[in-house]
Amino acid sequence: MLYHVRMDVRLPVDLDPAVRAEIIAREKAYSQKLQREGKWPQLWRIAGEYANFSILDVEDHDELHTLLSGLPLFPYMEIKVTPLAAHPSKIAG
């Protein structure tokens, strides 16, 4: 199943810079592992915002939740999920 996910990052301004850097490094490693596995096929920065648009390709809502709640930045993000269905006008390919 495909999901469109918007993630807005809201790190506290007073967070220790070393802790911030460590969380972001773990987030990068976590997301790149999922990208290599094909579960996170699209990741785009929203220009001008500390936010991204992602497409996630997982089995079901439960796997999506497991994946999202495992993000190192999960405690610091607002996440909006939109499940995607096939559009009848889309041509093959």
Q: How far is the CB of 38 from ligand LWBT4IAB (least distance, A)?
A: 16
Is 35 a residue that touches ligand LWBT4IAB (CB under 6 A)?
A: no
Residues 36-55 binding ligand LWBT4IAB (CB under 6 A) are: 52
The residue count for binding ligand LWBT4IAB (CB under 6 A) is 7
* Contact status, residue 39 vs residue 86, Cβ threshold 8 Å: no
Sites for ligand LWBT4IAB among residues 71-90 (CB under 6 A): 73
